[in-house]
């Protein structure tokens, strides 16, 4: 099936398992592990240059920061860079991230071939995903497919996130208004910001801004 696979995953406990699975169950000859996105990108470039490219990439999305300052902080950036240089190697994302907005954005971007949710059967699903992708189809974990289908997924815009973020940083609505005005972010008037917040409070069932920001944090919007 696949002979040269790269796995990008910061937690050694997980990459250990994926590595073993790829070698033992799927008989992959060459498995390359990366704990950092930059590393992964360099290895990827070298493989391309040497005309020994990877024929599958499995990557996480979030990576914990440590002493090394990495210029590629997330799997998202890595994926973009790989596609930017024109590679069409299949990429399977394997992440605990189950927020509909994130998953939706990635799956609809056509940048990746599969999205596996790390869960109780994550490794099993990853194997299925590899098979499916090998057959030229795309793969999405069942739980995610279900949650994407639900209509009550609250569509939150970039604007709203900025707003909530600034609030959580202690800015007053007036300060945000002025900042938006200066940076040509529309709408910027205090009144509009109030209105936006009212809509958000309504959707997230928050009585006031404090609760709004709290639940936004709970939901991982910010």
Partner DNA sequence: AATAACCTTACGGTTTTCCGCATATGGTAG
Partner DNA sequence: CTACCATATGCGGAAAACCGTAAGGTTATT
Does 214 help bind a second copy (rule: CB under 8 A)?
Answer: yes
Length of the chain: 222
| 154-213 binders of DNA (CB under 7 A) | 172-174, 186-192, 194-195, 197-198, 201, 208-210
- Pick 112 or 126: Cβ nearer a second copy: 126
CA 206 to chain centre: 27
Instruction: Considering only the stretches 9-17, 44-52, 71-79, 144-152, report the one whose residues sit in contact with a second copy under the rule CB under 8 A.
Output: 9-17
Whether 168 and 217 have beta carbons less than 8 Å apart is answered as yes
136 or 170: CB nearest a second copy: 170
C-alpha closest to that of 219 among 97, 59, 95: 97
Task: Give the range of 40-48, 76-84, 112-120, 134-142 binding a second copy by CB under 8 A.
Answer: 112-120
Query: In angstroms, rounded to a whole number, what is the distance separating the alpha carbons of residues 151 and 182?
Result: 36
SS3 57: strand
Strand-pairing partners, residue 117, are 95
- Figure out which of the listed residues 1, 29, 46, 66 binds a second copy, where binding follows CB under 8 A: 66
3-state SS of 66-134 is CCCCCCCCCHHHHHHHHHHCCCCCCEEEEECCCCHHHHHHHHHCCCCCEEEECCCCHHHHHHHHHHHHH
Give the Cα separation of 213 and 218 in Å (integer). Answer: 9
8 Å CB contact between 188 and 181: yes
Q: What, of DNA, a second copy, none, does residue 10 touch, CB below 5 to 8 Å by kind?
A: a second copy
- Judged by beta carbon distances under 5 to 8 A according to partner kind, the member of a second copy, DNA, none in contact with residue 169 is a second copy
CB of 169 to DNA, least distance (A): 12
Task: Give yes or no for residue 146 binding a second copy (CB under 8 A).
Answer: no
* Of 158, 172, 163, the residue nearest 196 (C-alpha): 163
**What are the distances in angstroms from CA 55 to CA 7, 130, 166, 220?**
12, 11, 42, 33
Tell whether residue 16 is a contact of a second copy (CB under 8 A): yes
Task: Give the nearer residue to DNA in terms of CB position, either 131 or 189.
Answer: 189
CB of 77 to a second copy, least distance (A): 19
- Using CB distances below 5 to 8 A depending on partner kind, what does residue 197 bind out of DNA, a second copy, none? DNA
Return residues touching a second copy (CB under 8 A): 10-18, 20-21, 35, 64, 66, 94, 96, 118-124, 126, 167-172, 206-211, 213-214, 217-218
Contact residues toward DNA (CB under 7 A) are 172-174, 186-192, 194-195, 197-198, 201, 208-210
């Amino acid at each position: 099936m696949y002979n040269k696979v790269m796995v990008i995953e910061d937690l050694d406990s997980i990459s250990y398992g994926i590595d073993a699975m790829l070698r033992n169950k799927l008989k992959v000859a060459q498995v390359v592990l990366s704990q950092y996105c930059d590393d992964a990108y360099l290895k990827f470039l070298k493989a391309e240059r040497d005309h020994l490219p990877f024929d599958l990439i499995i990557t996480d999305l979030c990576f914990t920061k440590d002493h090394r300052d990495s210029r590629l902080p997330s799997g998202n950036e890595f994926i973009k860079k790989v596609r930017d240089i024109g590679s069409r190697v299949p990429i399977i994302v394997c992440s605990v991230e189950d927020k509909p907005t994130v998953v939706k954005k990635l799956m609809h971007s056509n940048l990746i071939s599969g999205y596996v949710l790390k869960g109780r059967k994550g490794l099993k699903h990853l194997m299925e995903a590899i098979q499916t992708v090998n057959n030229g189809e795309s793969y999405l974990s069942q739980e995610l497919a279900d949650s994407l289908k639900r209509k009550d997924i609250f569509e939150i815009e970039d604007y709203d996130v900025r707003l909530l973020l600034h609030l959580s940083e202690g800015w007053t609505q007036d300060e945000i208004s002025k900042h938006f005005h200066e940076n040509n972010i529309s709408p910027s008037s205090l009144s509009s910001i109030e209105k936006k917040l009212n809509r958000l409070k309504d959707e997230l069932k928050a009585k006031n801004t404090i609760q709004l920001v709290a639940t936004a944090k709970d939901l991982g919007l910010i």
